[in-house]
Amino acid sequence: MKKFNIGLTLALVALMVVGFGVAAYAASANELVIADFDTGDKPNNIGGDFGGWDKDPNDESQGCQMSFDTDDSQGDAAGYSIRLDYDVDSPNPAYNGFWMKLNGEDATPYNTLNFYVKGDAKAGYTKRFKIELKDMTNKPSAYIVSGVTDQWQKISIPFEKFRRIENWNALNEFVIVFDDINSSPKTGSILIDQVTFSKQ
């Protein structure tokens, strides 16, 4: 009787291990984390570089500063997000933002781009900004994000919104653009975190 119980216990443990394995596989198959920024350093989770960019680095009246912020979108006390302090308040045409390499990632198993966004209530923030996705042809495919608040919010964008992407099997870059048309106020701070591709 004792032997039977041990056998039964082992069988149950084996079933649980298989079950957890299947669940873990299903989770990883449905979502690819591109960047959680939780190391507080480069590169992103798929080995891609990232940073802030300026239309004209010599024009001190405009620019975008990237830094790591301890305000993690997933509530991880040890995690980080990306903070973008933008300034498009300039006598000159102004745009700037954030770029992140996708390292030729094959996105064909997925159909949705996700990320978390939050405005900094203290610094002020635009409720609207543009993002761009590029495949290896580098043609920017734009999408306007709106409705930003001072709380973390998940933004999910179906791939079909990015109409100029021709080859989903090799993506090059994810870009955030602050410009003097969409950005109001023209200076402020936006937090970005947990950039993923998912199948929904």
Interface contacts to Ca ion, rule CB under 5 A: 36-38, 61, 72, 79, 87, 89, 193
Decide whether 173 or 193 has the Cβ nearer to Ca ion: 193
Question: Is the bond preceding 109 in cis, omega lying within 30 degrees of 0?
Answer: no
Decide whether 63 or 175 has the Cβ nearer to Ca ion: 63
Which residues, at least 6 apart from 22, have a Cβ–Cβ distance to it below 8 Å?
Answer: none
Which position's Cβ is nearest Ca ion? 89
DSSP 113: E
Whole-number minimum distance, CB 173 to Ca ion, in Å?
20
Going by C-alpha positions, the residue among 35, 28, 36 that lies closest to residue 199 is 28
Whole-number minimum distance, CB 17 to Ca ion, in Å?
30
Decide whether 79 or 135 has the Cβ nearer to Ca ion: 79
Going by C-alpha positions, the residue among 135, 138, 143, 151 that lies closest to residue 176 is 143
Decide whether 102 or 192 has the Cβ nearer to Ca ion: 192
Question: Is the bond preceding 57 in cis, omega lying within 30 degrees of 0?
Answer: no
Whole-number minimum distance, CB 38 to Ca ion, in Å?
5
Which residues, at least 6 apart from 75, have a Cβ–Cβ distance to it below 8 Å?
Answer: none
Whole-number minimum distance, CB 135 to Ca ion, in Å?
26
Amino acid 48 reads G
